[in-house]
């Protein structure tokens, strides 16, 4: 028996990248899925690929009514709701503190934070009726550290992590677990889309990122949507039955420490500040080792 047999899921941002990979994984594990997105052609193609297991719903997560309709569709079409993956997103408003327009900040928070809160709100009564459920929110390493995204985006993702804790405290009484995933650098169209490229060009850029971005991570490769999808499937399953209110970082080790900690060719800011180069540092290390031996 597959791990998610009989389970019903809603996935937002399902037409591309992490959401698409997650629909594929959830179906492979036995779930039926409402795939929600604004890229209708891709969403319909996905539903056609998985006939009985996937239906597509147009759902702009900036619109509360459309979120509710996509979630209600799971109950109407598949008889209930067990899993919600609040995942849709984009880079949002660009710029630093002074440059970011207030309207852009509001729109970014609507897209990345309010949408997650609304999805959770409208999923809750259905999961209560089912006797429990699992909600998974896509946050980001940008929500745990500065420097991985624009300020509005990073702030929204940090708030998603904290909302996840607060909601877990509220929903555990109904056996509803809620957790966040913080992806690192995942090869998807989001980077091109955020820079305003047309979708087909942004899709091609995802392949380029996969090819070139490996050296950024200690693990030596860029993340794939499947890396996140596997974590979603785990959190959705009973294997994660004791996990709620937390966030899991899935980033190939990119946030474990400064680059020189894992890349021996990178210079240490500490030695740089003292004016000691790599060669001198190595000579000092060898001399000290010899001294300690003797």
Ligand X SMILES: NC(=O)c1ccc[n+]([C@@H]2O[C@H](COP(=O)([O-])OP(=O)(O)OC[C@H]3O[C@@H](n4cnc5c(N)ncnc54)[C@H](O)[C@@H]3O)[C@@H](O)[C@H]2O)c1
For ligand X, the binding residues (CB under 6 A) are: 12-13, 15-19, 37-39, 59-62, 87-90, 111, 138, 140, 183, 185-186, 188-190, 193
Of the pair 92, 245, the CB lying nearest ligand X is at 92
Of the pair 140, 155, the CB lying nearest ligand X is at 140
The tokens for 9 are 């899921």
Nearest C-alpha neighbor of 11 from the set 22, 2, 1, 25? 22
Closest approach, Cβ 21 to ligand X, in A, equals 8
For residue 138, what are the contacts with CB-CB under 8 A and spacing of at least 6?
Answer: 13, 18, 85, 86, 87, 89, 160, 180, 181, 183, 228
Closest approach, Cβ 122 to ligand X, in A, equals 15
Closest approach, Cβ 253 to ligand X, in A, equals 15
Closest approach, Cβ 222 to ligand X, in A, equals 8
Contact 71, 84 (CB under 8 A): yes
| 174 has catalytic annotation | no
Region of 9 on the Ramachandran plot (φ > 0 left; ψ -120 to 50 alpha; else beta):
beta
Of the pair 156, 176, the CB lying nearest ligand X is at 156
Nearest C-alpha neighbor of 219 from the set 261, 253, 259? 253
Closest approach, Cβ 121 to ligand X, in A, equals 16
The tokens for 241 are 């039955």
Of the pair 104, 132, the CB lying nearest ligand X is at 104
Q: For CA atoms 227, 229, 232, 233, give the dihedral sign.
A: negative
Whole-number Cα distances in Å, 251 to 74, 203, 255, 275? 31, 21, 7, 32
Closest approach, Cβ 226 to ligand X, in A, equals 12
Of the pair 81, 142, the CB lying nearest ligand X is at 142
- Residue of 56, 122, 153, 174 marked catalytic: 153
Region of 73 on the Ramachandran plot (φ > 0 left; ψ -120 to 50 alpha; else beta):
alpha
Count Cβ atoms within 10 A of the Cβ of residue 260 and give its class: 0-12 exposed, 13-18 middle, 19 or more buried. Answer: middle
Of the pair 39, 124, the CB lying nearest ligand X is at 39
Rounded distance, CA 226 to CA 20, Å?
9
Q: Which amino acids are annotated catalytic?
A: 153
């Amino acid at each position: 028996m597959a791990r998610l047999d009989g389970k019903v899921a809603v996935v937002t941002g399902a037409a591309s990248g992490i959401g698409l990979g997650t629909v594929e994984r959830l179906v492979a594990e036995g779930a039926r899925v409402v795939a929600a997105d604004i890229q209708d052609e891709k969403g319909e193609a996905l539903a056609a690929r998985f006939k009985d297991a996937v239906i597509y719903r147009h759902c702009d997560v900036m619109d509360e009514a459309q979120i509710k309709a996509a979630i209600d569709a799971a109950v109407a079409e598949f008889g209930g709701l067990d899993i919600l993956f609040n995942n849709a997103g984009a880079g949002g408003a660009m710029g630093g503190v002074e440059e970011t327009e207030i309207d852009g900040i509001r729109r970014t928070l609507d897209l990345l934070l309010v949408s997650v809160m609304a999805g959770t709100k409208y999923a809750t009564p259905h999961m209560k009726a089912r006797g429990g459920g699992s909600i998974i929110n896509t946050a980001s390493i940008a929500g745990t550290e500065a420097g991985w995204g624009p300020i509005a985006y990073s702030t929204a993702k940090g708030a998603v992590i904290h909302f996840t804790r607060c909601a877990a405290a509220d929903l555990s009484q109904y056996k509803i677990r809620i957790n966040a995933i913080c992806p690192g650098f995942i090869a998807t169209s989001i980077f091109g889309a955020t820079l305003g490229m047309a979708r087909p060009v942004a899709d091609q850029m995802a392949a380029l990122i996969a090819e070139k971005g490996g050296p950024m991570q200690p693990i030596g490769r860029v993340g794939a949507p499947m890396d996140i999808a596997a974590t979603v499937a785990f959190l959705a399953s009973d294997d994660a039955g004791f996990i709620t209110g937390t966030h899991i970082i899935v980033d190939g080790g990119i946030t474990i420490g400064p680059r020189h900690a894992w890349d021996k060719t990178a210079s240490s800011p500490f030695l740089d500040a003292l004016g000691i180069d790599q060669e001198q540092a190595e000579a000092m290390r060898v001399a000290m080792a010899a001294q300690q031996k003797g």
